[in-house]
């Protein structure tokens, strides 16, 4: 049986009829057409699917889509201002924190969840915030440096939070 889902994604209303077992990730990618969140493990281990639900990080692969009804989801497509990049994205590019890029959307969302709450973070905070995100390419150092640099910029504020 399908049930109606009405969810705000990146500030816009989206609707779909979905079965109870469908994951938020599959609905974002296949019904709503947002392919920024990636499927790595489909099992809550890798963080490639990370999105924000009401401002908090969630593994979209393992969250029931119907449980987001009436709530607000932010994906990587929703973080940048119209005319550029989010500071986290900019610093990842500048630092070389992106290689194949598969982990990047999830890293951006976990980092954003941290900076929205605690821009005053230190390296240990960043490592803890990214504990659920695997990267097979970069070795993490450049990612962590980028997030710390983004944190020091005044403009990264939570303005784009839905």
Question: Applying CB under 6 A, which residues contact ligand FES?
Answer: 39-49, 59, 61, 98-103, 135-138
CB of 132 to another protein, least distance (A): 3
72-74 and 3-9 as β-strands: parallel, antiparallel, unpaired?
Answer: parallel
114 contact choice in ligand FES, another protein, none (CB below 5 to 8 Å, kind-dependent) = another protein
Residue (of 154, 106, 100) closest to 131 by Cα position = 106
Our finding on whether 7 is near another protein (CB under 8 A) is no
The CB-of-133 to ligand FES minimum distance in angstroms stands at 9
* Residue 27 binding: pick among ligand FES, another protein, none (C-beta 5-8 Å cut-off by kind): none
Q: Both tokens of residue 16? A: 């779909």
Which range of residues in 43-51, 78-86, 94-102, 137-145 is near another protein by CB under 8 A?
43-51
Q: Are strands 12-18 and 50-53 parallel, antiparallel or unpaired?
A: unpaired
Neighbour tally for 59: CB within 10 Å? 23
Q: Name, in order, each residue with C-beta under 8 angstroms of 140's C-beta and a sequence gap of 6 or more.
A: 130
* Residue 120 contacts another protein per CB under 8 A: no
| Residue 40 DSSP one-character state | S
Q: Please identify, among the stretches 9-17, 28-36, 44-52, 83-91, the one whose residues bind another protein according to the rule CB under 8 A.
A: 44-52
The distance of closest approach from Cβ of residue 82 to another protein in the complex, given in angstroms and rounded to an integer, is 28
110 SS3 class: helix
Q: What CA–CA distances, in Å, run from 21 to 26, 42, 50?
A: 10, 13, 18
- Residue 162 interacting entry, from ligand FES, another protein, none, C-beta within 5 to 8 Å by type: none
Contact between 44 and another protein by CB under 8 A: the answer reads yes
């Amino acid at each position: 049986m399908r049930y109606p889902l009405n969810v705000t994604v990146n500030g816009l209303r989206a609707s779909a009829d979905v079965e109870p077992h469908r994951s938020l990730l599959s609905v974002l990618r296949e019904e709503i057409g947002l392919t920024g969140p990636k499927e790595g493990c489909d099992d809550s281990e890798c963080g490639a699917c990370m999105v924000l639900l009401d401002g908090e990080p969630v593994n979209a692969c393992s969250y029931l889509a119907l449980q987001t009804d009436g709530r607000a989801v932010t994906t990587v497509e929703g973080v940048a201002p119209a005319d550029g990049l989010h500071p986290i994205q900019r610093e990842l590019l500048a630092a070389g924190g992106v290689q194949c890029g598969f982990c990047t959307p999830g890293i951006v969302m976990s980092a954003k969840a941290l900076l929205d709450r605690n821009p005053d973070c230190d390296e240990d905070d960043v490592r803890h915030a990214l504990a659920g995100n695997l990267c097979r390419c970069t070795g993490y150092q450049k990612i962590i440096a980028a997030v710390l640099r983004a944190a020091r910029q005044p403009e990264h504020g939570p303005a784009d939070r839905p």
